[in-house]
Structure 1
């Protein structure tokens, strides 16, 4: 049994500013070592993501108390019996997607849709059916998305880990588990953007900016970045956006239609906001598609213009965590990064410690940062 520092959430929906309401309490917790089919990882970097913010806000319920964090990287320290392909000392990206490898969706190459693993995560346990975390007094403590990286160590199943090159700094490697695999995967796997395509990306956070980079790598002829914060436009242009539009402008839709000669082939909605989704539907060309990437409130719904959907052959597509297989995709994205084709290190806003984690969510809520990286060991 290991004692470690972790960020524990006891209550969702606390009000901002979070530096005052403190949705995460930093405390010592207990972690059992890995059992059969499990791996102990020393967490060296964890990203602060909008998906985590939506959980803080209470938009998506989680079993509580829980150690947060679903995007990270670290070093393998111990492997349980039956684990193959990983050994102590390996550097790994920790992904919020894992499948059982045996069900219909996993065999179809869509582990993110695995119902067996999704059910385990909804219960706050690992895919092995175990719970390795405990509060300091021995009380029940849940796992978050099967990894819980807002902690110094994590026990996870190997399906959540992707061995990566040690040439990648671990604070950068943390981004590959969610921001990179989600944004790049939406472009390469879900939309399958072709050379010459016109695309728009609504929401220029870590996932959206990665999608911009991926669209450039895919050969898109036009990449329109859209956000409510124009301060993000310089970075968006630097990583591949050809045009930028302020989503707050009353004529933002008309601007995009004019820039794209009647509409884009692929409109990526990253923010999880229903107004942004309506905009994505409005800026597409006939025969184009909307790719929904952002996750909003679990009860939210929207409407689709039925006649246009049919007669204009429009497509509405969901893309969860990149719509691919992390074990296949992340090494490819790492290679792109090492060759300078996917400069995801530019997403890093700053490093923070546990003492600033709650403040970090205030900064993310205000839009002043792209990706802060928690360093659990300082």
Structure 2
């Protein structure tokens, strides 16, 4: 039975402040093709911070959060993939399943999704506050006790996967793993350097370790993060500096086969081509602010046969990749739980963002009762 509208506590961004306000708002029941989910956990991700700090513009007021996992509470008419009681991971880029990209197996570049508009497929949202429409971030809005998402955004996974782990699979793990496996197609024995060892960077290192890359070089300013990188499989750790390219070449012999940028800073993106060998591939995983052009020596790139590619969501196909990643976690091959440094309540979310801005913590995850 589809429930009546209910109240939900949510972290709301008014579009101007860098802090979130915890409000009790209203959420409508699921309509045709949509799913009501009771959240078990929500990641606190750097992409959320980009919005709060004004780097990216969104419709507002916005219910933040896009890394979520929980239990299906109810489904709308026509939903067949999930049922009440299923444990699901939420995808922040729901596919339309109809466009040419989706039909060719490339749903990560779907042209029919309204996810980036923070809208359901019919152009509505299920959240409101005193009659004012609220926009769930990337059509997820996981920093809320409840959310309504399209059926294609709710991917069933084994109930044995804890919600805090499952929430990270929905973004940072899928992004890091996918950049290695789907985009770069790294093979065993190939060398890689990872610039930035936050949650996504560590996910990249985990995936590189899983596929047998060697050596794996981690680059960061933080001693704590570099120590974490070693624990996840980095064979070498370096701090950035003018001689970074020389140090990478000293370790690898000719430069790395692959370089991954997991911060989204113009300066580090510009440094990537100098870290890879001739014929190597540099992968942009971190997302910079809007309107942030990057300067690249195109002639040098072409003459050495190097590639520079963008990786959005690790070219993830959620229905394929989320269950696969969940099974890898359950098999002990992806220690996602070790990424979580802080499990917090919804009311502590602003403190978590402040810590992120200071470069502290690996990953904070909101755990709902």
Fold in common (TM above 0.5): yes
Aligned equivalents of 1:158 and 1:116: distance in 2? 14
Unaligned runs of 5+ in 1: 15-22
Instruction: Give the CA deviation at 1:288.
Output: 0.4
Q: Which of the numbers 236, 242, 245 marks the counterpart of 1:253?
A: 245
Runs of 4+ with deviation above 4 angstroms: none
Instruction: Give the CA deviation at 1:4.
Output: 1.1
Structure 1 residues 1-378: aligned runs within 5 Å: 1-12=5-16, 14=18, 23-117=19-113, 120-135=114-129, 137-247=130-240, 249-377=241-369
**Which string of whole-angstrom CA distances, capped at 9 and with x for unpartnered residues, describes residues 133-169 of structure 1?**
101x111211210110000000000111111111111
Q: Is the 2:11–2:22 Cα contact (8 Å) retained in structure 1? A: yes
Instruction: Give the CA deviation at 1:13.
Output: 6.0
TM-score by length of structure 2 reads 0.96
**Which string of whole-angstrom CA distances, capped at 9 and with x for unpartnered residues, describes residues 75-110 of structure 1?**
001011111120111001112121101111112222
Instruction: Give the CA deviation at 1:354.
Output: 2.0
Q: Is the 1:60–1:297 Cα contact (8 Å) retained in structure 2? A: yes
- Determine the structure 2 residue equivalent to 1:18: none
TM-score by length of structure 1 reads 0.94
Aligned equivalents of 1:310 and 1:277: distance in 2? 17
**Which string of whole-angstrom CA distances, capped at 9 and with x for unpartnered residues, describes residues 351-375 of structure 1?**
1112211111000111111111112
Equivalences, count? 365
**Which string of whole-angstrom CA distances, capped at 9 and with x for unpartnered residues, describes residues 170-207 of structure 1?**
11111100011000000000000011100011111111
Q: Is the 1:12–1:55 Cα contact (8 Å) retained in structure 2? A: no
Q: Is the 1:226–1:246 Cα contact (8 Å) retained in structure 2? A: yes
- Determine the structure 2 residue equivalent to 1:19: none
Q: Is the 1:109–1:324 Cα contact (8 Å) retained in structure 2? A: no
Q: Is the 1:202–1:267 Cα contact (8 Å) retained in structure 2? A: yes
- Determine the structure 2 residue equivalent to 1:20: none
Unaligned runs of 5+ in 2: none
